[in-house]
Amino acid sequence: MRRFVVLRAVLVLTLMFGVSELKPAFADGDINKVNHVIVLMQASHSFDNYFGALAYAPGSPYHNGNGACDPADHSCVDGLTCAVDGAGNFNCSNQNVGLDGNPIFSFHESQRCGLPALDPSWFYTHLELNFLHPNRTSNPRNNGFLLASELTDQTGDPVQSAATNEAMAFYNQREVPFYYDLAQKFAIGDSYFASVSGPAFPNRSYLLAATSFGHLAANDRFPPPGGYRPITGTIFDLFNTNGVSWANYFQDVPQASRFLPFDRTSTDPHFLPLATFLAQAAGAAGAGTLPQVSFVDPNFGLASQASENDERPPTDIQRGQAFVSQVVNAVRNGPHWQDSVIFIMYDQHGGFYDHVAPPPALQGGATTPDGIAPGQCADLSDPPLSQEPGGGAECRGNPFRMNETSVHQAELICHSLAFDPTGPYPPQCASFDYLGIRVPLLAISPFSKPHYVSHTIGDHTSILAFIERRFLAPDGQNSLFLTARDQNANPLKALFDFDNSPSLNTAVAQAQSPDNDCTSPTGNTPQAQQHRVLLSWTANPSPVAAYSVYRGNTPGGPYAQINSVPDAMTSYTDDSVLSGETYYYVVTSVDSRGYQSNYSSEVSATIPNP
């Protein structure tokens, strides 16, 4: 059934590095044969949402575990439990119950632009894991995905309400063919989890700093001037101190700018455009040398959704496949392929269902990786005050919404914290001692074990552990680390055979940009005049038949369609307005078959009084 969805709308740094003893290796051979590690972190999809149907793909080398895989069976995928008929239709038994008491079963979604209203925040993710008892992280039941989706959809808009089931949706080889091709040829992990049960910013912080230093809120991603300064430092500090070459290649903004300067007055020299990576990976003359560690970022859509390719709904996921394909093929067809490892993973689950319960975090039995509890952010932004619980930058406020802060997120499920926000963290409340929801992981390398599924538990700090074992083990036996999380994380070496390079000659397909991009049109700021509103928007990059304009009287809807304009027009004048009133507008595109895109981001206009 077709689903329509809506878009909601300088002190000297004291680094507390440690040294970690290497765990026994489960790989074949010497990790030191790796000279280049490339990290691509995309956005907002759970393992089941992308790979839950991997074992059912035609010609798949895998079989499904139906709830569990033998740890020694590396052809088994712990995916969704489904029956597939001769026409390729799925009948799955995985389900969640909605507010009406009726179950919704996991279903195949053929539309590549998913629901943007799913909320992967700290609060809602804990509801997804255990709806009635969100603080019981030791007893995750994965029973609240549908309920949490419905709770975020209380506008009364019937179009939007029909889409709340999207939390239970999954894709297959039809929608993510490039990723299925990679997964069937190289190595993947089906026990790789987000580092935090929460949104992108804290999870990306674990990738770069092995902690979120108390942060929980997505809006904290815009850092204070010069970047956040974690007490335990970042992986970039370790690189710079120990002579490891690195770069963060970007399209709109480098993710490392959360921790390093990136503005008009100062920009870290390690921030380079994507085109430079592609040239270096190809060995182009004059492009420079490919560094030992590369973070290659998608376009996050911060300036405009028109170029976004991080796969975060409602962006067309084919855009992300085209971007990742470009990066992987540049390495595969270049001179550095023989000694490179590419990790592809997702920052968090995006609100999509996954059936596997998150396990405890490996951090030496501690409740946090660095002694900093949820919502009690601490850093070196203004020591010693900023080193106290809750004293860190942007903990109680951020540039966007004062009520969507890390302190507020923590207090939503830990009510007792509100009585003493900077005191001892209540032991009965959810902390950082469990991993987040499972997300996809692919390891693309000549060293990758072919069509191999690792069941070893990992998270984003496992990527740090792999890098540290290879480049930050000064004596060859002990590696540097940042926090208890990367110190104890599994380095994922079991994905590789460094002795034989079994995937050296494996071909990689190429993914193209979408022929029919389903991403919503992007709205521009409306011009409010005394008797009318002038609306304009950026055209959908794919052919459309018309644009539909909707208007509402409250933020977030409900909306009513007020007109439809031909495909050649990207503007509309609404002259049925009243002085002093505020109106809220969204736009959709409609193709020649009558299929409608997601709503655009909402814009508002207040009509001036005479």
User: pTM (2 decimals)?
Assistant: 0.85
The yes-or-no verdict on residue 539 having pLDDT over 80 is: no
Q: Is the pLDDT of residue 45 over 80?
A: yes
Rounded (10°) angle between helices 274-281 and 317-332: 40
- Residue 157: the pLDDT is 43
Omega before 24 within 30 of 0, i.e. cis: no
Contact (Cβ atoms closer than 8 angstroms) between residue 609 and residue 16: no
The 10s digit of each residue's pLDDT in 288-333 is: 999 999 999 999 988 778 899 999 998 999 999 999 999 999 999 9
Question: What Rg, from alpha-carbon coordinates, does the chain have?
Answer: 24
Q: Tell the residue number behind the tokens 């053929």, with chain if given.
A: 110
Of 56, 82, 51, 89, the C-alpha closest to 67 is 82
Bridge partner residues of 566 (DSSP): 546
The answer for residues whose C-beta is within 8 angstroms of residue 570's C-beta and 6 or more apart is 521, 536, 537, 538, 539, 547
Please state the rounded mean pLDDT for residues 352-357: 98
Q: Is residue 427 classed exposed, middle or buried when 0-12, 13-18 and 19+ CB atoms within 10 A define those classes?
A: exposed
pLDDT-based confidence at 367, cuts 50/70/90? Answer: very high
> In the predicted model, is pLDDT for residue 119 greater than 50?
yes
Q: Does 20-44+179-347+436-495 match 522-606 in CATH topology? A: no
Is residue 238 within 8 A of residue 244, CB to CB? The reply is yes
Residue 467 has pLDDT above 80, yes or no: yes
Cα–Cα dist 93/445, whole Å: 35
What integer best gives the mean pLDDT of the chain?
Answer: 89
Rounded-to-integer distance, Cα 366 and Cα 433, Å: 7
Distance CA 92, CA 244 (A): 47
Buried b (16+ CB within 10 A) or exposed e, 75-104: ebbbbbebebeeeeebebebbbebeeeeeb
Q: Is the pLDDT of residue 10 over 60?
A: no
C-alpha 358/C-alpha 138 separation (Å) is 9
Annotation: CATH topology of 20-44+179-347+436-495 = Alkaline Phosphatase, subunit A (3.40.720)
Q: Give the closest residue to 246 by CA, choosing from 255, 262, 231, 235.
A: 235
Q: Are 165 and 114 a contacting pair, CB within 8 Å?
A: no
Provide the greatest CA pair distance for the chain: 79
**How high is the pLDDT of residue 593?**
60
Both tokens of 556, joined, read 């977030």
User: What percentage of the chain exceeds 90 in pLDDT?
Assistant: 69
* Residue 25 reports pLDDT greater than 60: no
H helical segments located in 432-548: 460-471, 484-488
Does residue 350 surpass a pLDDT of 50?
yes
Which of the residue ranges 13-22, 23-32, 107-116, 252-261 would you say has the lowest mean pLDDT? 13-22
For residue 314, whether the previous peptide bond is cis, meaning omega lies within 30 degrees of 0, is yes
Question: What is the enclosing helix (H) or strand (E) of 409?
Answer: helix 406-413
User: What is residue 439's DSSP assignment?
Assistant: -
Cis ω for the linkage preceding 558 (within 30 of 0): yes
Q: Is the pLDDT of residue 23 over 80?
A: no
Closest by CA to 38, choosing from 281, 270, 228, is: 281
pLDDT digits (tens, 9 = 90+) for 121-162: 999 999 999 999 999 999 999 999 999 988 876 444 433 344
Residue 574 pLDDT grade (very low, low, confident, very high; cuts 50, 70, 90): confident
In the three-class reduction of DSSP (H, G, I as helix; E, B as strand; rest coil), residue 364 is classed as: coil
**Predicted pLDDT at 88:** 92
Give the start-end residues of each E strand in 51-94: 63-64, 76-77, 82-84, 90-92
**H-run or E-run covering 413:** helix 406-413
The pLDDT value given to residue 38 = 98
Q: What is the pLDDT of residue 513?
A: 94
Distance in angstroms (rounded) separating the CA atoms of residues 203 and 464? 13
CB 181 within 8 A of CB 460: no
pLDDT greater than 60 at residue 2: no
Give CA–CA dist 75/451, Å, rounded: 7
Q: Which two tokens stand for residue 95?
A: 């389900």
- Cα separation, 178 vs 326, whole angstroms: 11
pLDDT on residue 563: 85
Whether residue 64 is predicted with pLDDT greater than 50 in this model: the reply is: yes
How far are the Cα atoms of 152, 293, 474, 476 from residue 237, in angstroms, in the given order?
39, 13, 15, 20
Asked whether residue 65 carries a pLDDT value surpassing 50, the answer given is yes
What are the helix (H) ranges across 290-398? 317-332
**Could you report the per-residue pLDDT of 370-395, keeping only the tens digit for each?**
999 999 999 999 999 999 999 999 99
The predicted pLDDT at position 159 comes to: 37
CATH fold of 522-606 reads: Immunoglobulin-like (2.60.40)
Chain mean position to CA 473 = 29
Structure tokens that stand for 414 in this block: 């830990």
Q: How much is the pLDDT for 565?
A: 80
Least-confidence region, from 73-82, 117-126, 175-184, 243-252 = 117-126
Q: Give pLDDT, residue 530.
A: 58
Strands 36-42 and 293-296: parallel
CA distance 174 to 64: 19
Under the banding of pLDDT at 50, 70 and 90, the label for residue 529 is: low
Which has the closest alpha carbon to 374: 409, 420, 423, 419?
Answer: 409
Rounded Cα gap, residues 570 and 572, in angstroms: 7
Query: Could you tell me if 244 and 236 are in contact, meaning their C-beta atoms sit under 8 angstroms apart?
Result: no
Instruction: Tell me: pLDDT of 453 over 80.
Output: yes
Q: Which residue has the higher pLDDT, 252 or 537?
A: 252
Tokens of 17: 């590095």
Burial level of 252, CB count in 10 A (0-12/13-18/19+)?
middle
Q: Do β-strands 452-454 and 187-189 pair in parallel, antiparallel, or remain unpaired?
A: parallel
Q: Collapsing DSSP states into helix, strand and coil, what is residue 424?
A: coil
User: Is the pLDDT reported for residue 355 higher than 70?
Assistant: yes
User: What six digits make up the tokens of 458?
Assistant: 């990992």
| The residue to which tokens 């029973």 are assigned | 143
Q: Where are the domains of the chain?
A: 20-44+179-347+436-495, 522-606
